[in-house]
Structure formats: structure tokens, C-alpha cells
Amino acid sequence: MEMIKVKDLHKNYGAKQVLKGIEFQAKEGEIIGIIGRNGVGKSTFLEILMLLKKYKDGDVQLFGKDIQNLSITDEKVMKKKISAVLQPTQFYKKLRVKELLELFAKYYQCSENVAEVIENFELEEQLKTFFDNLSGGWKQRVSLAIAFLSRPKLVILDEPTTGLDPHMKEVLWDNIRGYSERYQTTVILSTHSMEEVELYCDKVMLIEDGQSVFFDTPQNILATGYENMNQFYLQNTKKGGK
């Protein structure tokens, strides 16, 4: 089942054109990586899918509905199906982990799922810790637990494992894949880790200069002769940042 369909998406910030034609589709349960240099429009694209930003031209369909002119009620219904981990990972500093889970469970009206995510993400030892006092890895883990708390149909992750040690990365990926398989959640993530794209993503989209220049499975891309995704990335992006 198709969850997301994006056609010829354009977005401007004032006179600056950030997205100049994005084509994208995602099906139920797929894990899709969005790659590209800093400043090419990855975050803007994800923020449009999160209903945080409007766009200029093009067509974006989420769960079969055009998102440009949603009513307040439709937007609220859609937001219940979407969740995210943003960069930087922050929540209310002066709330404890348990309190944050309870608060977001109220937002998404899913209080019955709190015990399950505490168990699945092994959060017991940190439940009384203030969010601000958690380490970077634990903050990501709690954020991910909150993202999956409502069993969303779509989860958007903005560089979810940046700066984490390999053990914590594995823990997070186990959870991402586990939840995606169990609840057929579509996961879209932006990342600079080509290793993760190769290991965990069903598909990958490369954005270059505001356009989607590649959109395929890592296997198909590698079958065209690249040694690994890192080589593919380096050969298809301009040297240096914006």
C-alpha cells in the first residue's frame, strides 16, 4: 500500500529555491534513507512531510490525501499517524523520562502503550532521570521510544544515530526495524552514514541541488558497479558543502 507520493515538489525560502523537483514514493513498512550534502534540502523535505512547512508547487499525498490544504481536523488526524525524531533531540528539560512518555501518550491518546515501549526500549533504569541529564545516546533512545509510542504509520528520523557509539546504534536500529516490521511502519530517515543505508534501508534517495537525482534500492545501485554506498555517494555529489 502506498503511504507517500510526492511529485515535482518545489519549495522556496524567500527568493532562495531550496527544493527544485523532488519525486518520491514510499510503501507501508519500507525503510527509506534520504542522503545528500548539508544544505541540499533534506530537512526541508522531511519537514514538509511532517506538516511543519508549506510548499510552493508540486503534489504531496500522505495516506492518500493532499497535504497542502488540509482542514484542522484532517491535519490533527494525520498528525496522529506521524511521528519523528528531530535533530537536535530535545524535549522539556525539567521533565523526567516517565513524565515525558506520559505526556506524549496523552498527546497521541495512547496511554495504554507506555508500558510496552518502556519494556521494548529498556528504559526502566532511566525513568526517573530528567531528560536534560541523559547522555546523548539515551536521549536518542527516549526520543525513539516516544516516536514509536503511538504505533505511527510513518516515522521520520533526522540523523537518528549521529554521534552515537556502535553499541547504541545497534540498539536503536534493532528497535527501528523491530517496530517497522511489527506495525508495518514506514520509516524515512536522513543520514550521512552510508553504512547504515547499505545495512538497513530498503531504498535510498539522493538529493542534489534540491532535486531527487537517484531513488532506488541499495542493491540495485550497487549492482551498477559501485563498491559500496560510500563510493556511490562520493561520485554523485559535488565536492565540498554549500
Partner 1 sequence: MLMTQLKMDLKMFFRETFYIISIIIPPVSYLLMGQMYGDLTYAGGLSYAQLYTPTFIILISFVTILFSFGFDQVSNRSNGTEKRIQLSPVSSSLLLVSGILKATIITGLGFVFITTLGVFVYDLQVTPVQMFLSFLGLILLDAVMLLLSSAIYSIFKSEKSALGMSIVLFQVVLLTGGFTIPLAVAPKVLQVIGHVNPMNYVNQFYTHIWNGTLAFSGEQLNGWIYLAVLSVLAYAFIIFQGKRKK
Chain residues that interact with partner 1, rule: CB under 8 A: 50-54, 76-77, 79-80, 82-84, 86-95, 99, 102-104, 106-109
**Which residue type, as a one-letter code, is found at position 227?**
E
Nearer to partner 1, 146 or 204 (CB): 146
Closest CA to 122 of 180, 167, 182, 187: 167
Task: State the nearest-atom distance from the C-beta of 80 to partner 1, in Å.
Answer: 5
Nearer CB in complex with partner 1: 43/212: 43
What residues contact residue 130 under an 8 Å CB cut-off, 6+ apart?
93, 94, 95, 96
Taking a C-beta distance cutoff of 8 angstroms, is the pair 161, 196 a contact?
yes
Q: Are 34 and 9 in contact (CB under 8 A)?
A: no
Q: How far apart are CA 194 and CA 85, in angstroms?
A: 19
Q: Which of 13/223 has CB closer to partner 1? A: 13
Choice between 89 and 237, CB closer to partner 1: 89
Q: Which residues pair with 187 in a beta bridge?
A: 31, 155
65, three cell numbers:
490525501
Residues 6 or more apart in contact with residue 138 via CB below 8 angstroms: 126, 129
Q: Which is nearer to partner 1, 92 or 119 (CB)?
A: 92
Question: Minimal distance in Å, beta carbon 91 to partner 1?
Answer: 6
Instruction: Report the relative pairing of strands 203-208 and 211-216 from DSSP bridges.
Output: antiparallel
Min CB(17)–partner 1 separation in Å: 17
